[in-house]
Chains A and B, each alone.
Chain A
């Protein structure tokens, strides 16, 4: 397992634990967690804080608490025991098939869409990943290419799946996450001999400052 140098912001991990991240961001964090025990630990801590909230919340009784309790007990009575169920429950997050394809070196099989020379993308549409509020994309940038400089309207998370890029913040390799917001302007450049493939989650469209005129943005999907 490679060493990870760039992690999501702790604020992002807390929101993940709270169930408050937009779906596309949460999926990207799932991908990072597969490789990062360190962030897992932090998420456990953020969940433990929530556990304290639950435990010390003021108890609220429902108007029909007794009826609800009876209903629940009846449902419980119909359930098999936990032992009988032990092997049927799993809770592993499912990574998007496109991400799995990249991670297992089958990225050529994916339906890449041309954006500008040296840059292709795929919008992950599976289930509910793409909405007006947030989206998840794969971005493939050829070796030695600049990513167009852009600023962010909202939050953005980028995780490297293959290859590497560099920007003002350092070098990002597989597993690394760049956690940026609209106050940061950056100009990443790919490094190494292979194409750099990133998973990008955002909750507002990217605004390219060069290369792609603003009017074309809706057309290319960014």
Chain B
């Protein structure tokens, strides 16, 4: 692995950055990955947990695991951001199991609250793809990815029938796959 290819898209840089980290064990290089993704991962984790301290804790642990697992990163299988997401998601899921935050989660569900969701995405393909979804579908996508709500929890929160929720998510998923392909 030579120099990071800066003329390529940002993403490929992070992919090769991780590959280089795995090969060389270069901690400084890993900190570049940390510096870029920490504020972004934090952004998602704060929404997911509604708890800044917990978000911070999960984020720090995610990067430690990313370091420990760097050898398992395969850019042919997933992008660096996706790989980091799966690590953080697994930590969040484990945390839910331990702490039973589901209870807290459930308490937060106020009946029929459909507020406008703001993904807050920067300009790019994914922002456009979300903007192209019907309101209800982007809402369901937000509730799944950013609030970590199950179909039944979304039903409780929105008052919509489960079947409607599932078909909204299914349709949104299919459209996002087409618009964002190839990921």
Task: Report A's interface with B, CB cutoff 8 A.
Answer: 9-15, 17-23, 25-26, 44-62, 65, 68-69, 71-73, 75-77, 79, 81-83, 85-86, 88-89, 91, 127-128, 131, 133, 154-155, 181-183, 203-204
Contacts of B37 in A (CB 8 A): 54-55
B97: CB under 8 A from chain A?
yes
B11: CB under 8 A from chain A?
yes
Contacts of A61 in B (CB 8 A): 39
The prevalent SS among residues of A at the interface is helix
Contact at A128–B100, with CB atoms within 8 Å? Answer: yes
Contact at B40–A54, with CB atoms within 8 Å? Answer: yes
B86: CB under 8 A from chain A?
yes
In the complex, what's the smallest C-beta–C-beta distance from B171 to chain A, in angstroms?
9
- Known A58-B43, A72-B34, A91-B69; 19 more pairs at CB < 8 Å: A11-B166, A11-B169, A12-B151, A19-B92, A20-B147, A22-B150, A26-B93, A45-B173, A46-B173, A47-B82, A48-B78, A51-B81, A56-B121, A57-B41, A58-B121, A68-B56, A69-B34, A89-B69, A128-B100
In the complex, what's the smallest C-beta–C-beta distance from A52 to chain B, in angstroms?
4
How many A-B pairs fall under 8 Å by CB?
A: 216
Contacts of B126 in A (CB 8 A): 49, 52-53, 56
**Which of B42, B102, B145, B151 interacts with A11 by CB under 8 Å?**
B151
Chain B residues bordering chain A, tally (CB within 8 A): 81
Given contact pairs A54-B81, A56-B122, A86-B71, A203 touches B183 in the complex (Cβ within 8 A): no
> Complex: how many Å from CA A218 to CA B170?
34
Contact at B27–A50, with CB atoms within 8 Å? Answer: no
Given contact pairs A14-B169, A155-B150, A47 touches B86 in the complex (Cβ within 8 A): yes
In the complex, what's the smallest C-beta–C-beta distance from B163 to chain A, in angstroms?
5
> Complex: how many Å from CA A59 to CA B21?
23
Contacts of B35 in A (CB 8 A): 69
Given contact pairs A14-B144, A128-B100, A81 touches B25 in the complex (Cβ within 8 A): yes
Given contact pairs A44-B78, A58-B43, A154-B152, A89 touches B72 in the complex (Cβ within 8 A): yes
**Which of B22, B68, B92, B121 interacts with A57 by CB under 8 Å?**
B121
